[in-house]
Amino acid sequence: MRNPANDPGPTSYEAELRRHNEVLRRACGVQVDEHVLDIGCGAGETTREAARIARSGSALGVDVSARAIERARELAQAEGLGNVAFECADAQVHSFPQERFDLVTSRFGTMFFADPVAAFTNIGRALRPSGRLVMMVWQSHERNEWDVAIHHALETVDEKQGPDPFSLADPASVKQILTDAGFTDVNFTDVHEPVYYGHDVDAALAWISGFTCTSETLRRLDATAATRAIGRLREMLAAHSTDDGVWFDSRAWIVTAHRP
């Protein structure tokens, strides 16, 4: 029997990453008077959460998706949050106010920069001296069951499609990027939490069908091959279905650093 306390309910990005969000919130340790910059904020869940904690401070969320920013503003207005703002912007080149923020945070929103060193250099300028960076990024493809299983079902294990969500998976490379961007005290904490894809197989299939790797692969296939691929996806999701929904193992890093 399903335990409602363990089932996040309807599938959404927030539900998928509920466990990860709890880890990130603890790692950020937002204080009541701090000013927070949230990179790749999407619909603004983590930004609004920071704003609620930083009651005497503020939170600014940025994302390249105008649609997501519009939704973030609607949700913030509905919640009556007066200390939060959102901007549609590319954090790599956006002109942030200099030395404005105490904390820069991101939940899987920093892996897609065209020039990571330039991006983190620009972000670093927005931090006050001794300000901190706390971001969550995926570990490697091989350590994320969800990605391995989906690609195996689609028979595209060796194919790369679209932006790479694992571009910041290697600690040595990330440390070099952040060091070159002017950050110090770069550290990594392992995050081993599952991702949630839906309360049943149908919901999970609908959710992963929106993933770039899934949608683009299915679009390239003829009708017969696409039907077979969807059948394999169903079988794979059924194998991960529990009384509390469809869950997959995942691994991420919490990366922390400081501006000198």
Per-residue pLDDT band for 10 (boundaries 50, 70, 90) equals: low
Q: What is the pLDDT of residue 228?
A: 96
Q: Please state the pTM of the whole predicted model.
A: 0.92
pLDDT score of 12: 85
- Residue 8: pLDDT over 80: no
H helices of the chain, in order, are 13-16, 18-28, 45-53, 66-79, 116-125, 145-154, 171-180, 201-208, 212-220, 223-239
Bridge partners of residue 132, in order along the sequence? 103, 258
pLDDT over 70, % of the chain: 93
- 19 and 194 Cβ atoms separated by less than 8 Å: yes
pLDDT of residue 213: 86
What is the tens place of the pLDDT at every residue in 84-142?
Answer: 999 999 999 999 999 999 999 999 999 999 999 999 999 999 999 999 999 999 999 99
Q: What's the mean pLDDT in 154-167? A: 75
Distance in angstroms (rounded) separating the CA atoms of residues 62 and 72: 10
Has residue 227 got a pLDDT over 50? yes
Residues 46-64 pLDDT 10s: 999 999 999 999 999 999 9
Q: What is the DSSP string of 130-151?
A: EEEEEEEEE--GGG-HHHHHHH
Give the Cα separation of 48 and 108 in Å (integer). 16
Give per-residue burial for 175-205: e unless 16+ CB within 10 Å, then b. bebbeebbbeebeeeebebbbbbbbebebbb
pLDDT band at 241 (very low <50, low <70, confident <90, very high): very high
Q: For the chain, which domains are there?
A: 13-140+163-198+249-258 (3.40.50.150)
Asked if the model's pLDDT at residue 159 lies above 70, the reply is: no
- DSSP-assigned beta bridge partners for residue 86: 61
Identity at 174, one-letter amino acid code: V
- Looking at residue 64, what is its pLDDT? 97
The answer to whether 177 and 259 are in contact (CB under 8 A) is: no
